[in-house]
Amino acid sequence: MPTGGQAQGGAMHAHSDKTREIQMRFLKFFLIMGILFSVLACVAIAEDYPIQYFLAKVSSEKNELSKDERKELLNRIHRMLDQAQRTHTKLVQAIQTGETDIRYQEGKFWMSKLEEDQKSIDIGTQQLKLLTERPTLLVASIKLYKSLKDLSSNFNAYNDVTSFSALVGDLAPEMELWADPIFYKLYLLPLAHLKDEEKVSPQKEKKPIPKGKKP
């Protein structure tokens, strides 16, 4: 039969275990809340610059982008290219596995278009990397713009095909808006104007050489 001291010790030990359990629960709670707040903060930052924000900038008189806005514009285009890559993979799989009601010859045609898209996605991704490091590269901006235009043209064509439209959805018209007017008017055009201004250097007026006086 346990003595009073043993009973008291057992009670204290049980109380200690209970305290540790409560502490662990609080620790897990605060850890989960910390992760949740971090995720919400990231989402909030991304939502500060939705596509509507940049479309409004295009329409405004003062549409010059700040350094942060240019950076976020490139980030948004990068995410859009990632989405285009995922959709591209689904389209290829749908054709190759016979999930679509497309005949062989027509399938070959669309596969050739998808091969073009993969090149455009790769080039666009490469140019984005260059612009992230050096935002004033005009050639990289032109190549990125061309890639976006080519992609949006093909993706809009896919949207007209019943077998593809469910896979493409709103990505096609959204891609077109990111290319033009957003990237073209807010990034490429101002950069081209800046480069033109840098080329024009003020011409120094040449002073006429004074003629020597005749004796």
Among the residue ranges 84-88, 175-179, 204-208, the one predicted with the least confidence is: 204-208
* pLDDT grade for 5, boundaries at 50, 70 and 90: low
- How far apart are the C-alpha atoms of 65 and 202, rounded to whole Å? 27
- How far apart are the C-alpha atoms of 49 and 40, rounded to whole Å? 15
Whether the per-residue pLDDT at 144 is higher than 50: the answer is: yes
Contact predicate 150/81, CB 8 Å: no
Whether the per-residue pLDDT at 29 is higher than 80: the answer is: no
Cα diameter, the chain: 139
Whether the pTM exceeds 0.85: the reply is no
Q: What would the DSSP string read from start to end of 186-197? A: IIIHHHHHHHHH
pLDDT of residue 35: 42
pLDDT of residue 205: 47
- Tokens 């989405």 found at: 83
Q: Which two tokens stand for residue 24?
A: 């662990």
* pLDDT grade for 42, boundaries at 50, 70 and 90: very low
DSSP state letter for 44 = H
Per-residue model confidence as pLDDT tens digits over 83-133: 999 999 999 999 999 888 888 889 999 999 999 999 999 999 999 999 999
Number of residues assigned to the chain? 215
Among the residue ranges 1-10, 124-133, 142-151, 196-205, the one predicted with the least confidence is: 1-10
Question: Strand, helix or coil at 54?
Answer: helix
Q: How many CA atoms lie within 13 A of 60 on its CB side?
A: 12
Query: Phi and psi at residue 45, in whole multiples of 5°?
Result: -65, -45
- How far apart are the C-alpha atoms of 51 and 49, rounded to whole Å? 7
Q: Which two tokens stand for residue 196?
A: 């033109």
More reliable by pLDDT, 27 or 121? 121
Among the residue ranges 28-32, 37-41, 58-62, 169-173, the one predicted with the least confidence is: 37-41
| Amino acid symbol at 138 | L
| Amino acid symbol at 64 | E
Tell me which residue of 164, 174, 158 sits closest to 113, measured CA to CA.
158
| Amino acid symbol at 146 | K
Domains of the chain: 51-197 (1.20.120)
pLDDT of residue 114: 97
Give kind and range of the element (H or E) at residue 74.
Answer: helix 67-96
Q: Which two tokens stand for residue 27?
A: 């620790």
Among the residue ranges 141-150, 191-200, 203-212, the one predicted with the least confidence is: 203-212
Query: Phi and psi at residue 103, in whole multiples of 5°?
Result: -75, 165
* pLDDT grade for 36, boundaries at 50, 70 and 90: very low
More reliable by pLDDT, 188 or 48? 188
Q: What angle do CA 10, 15, 20 make, to 5 degrees?
A: 125
Give me the mean pLDDT over the 12-29 stretch: 57
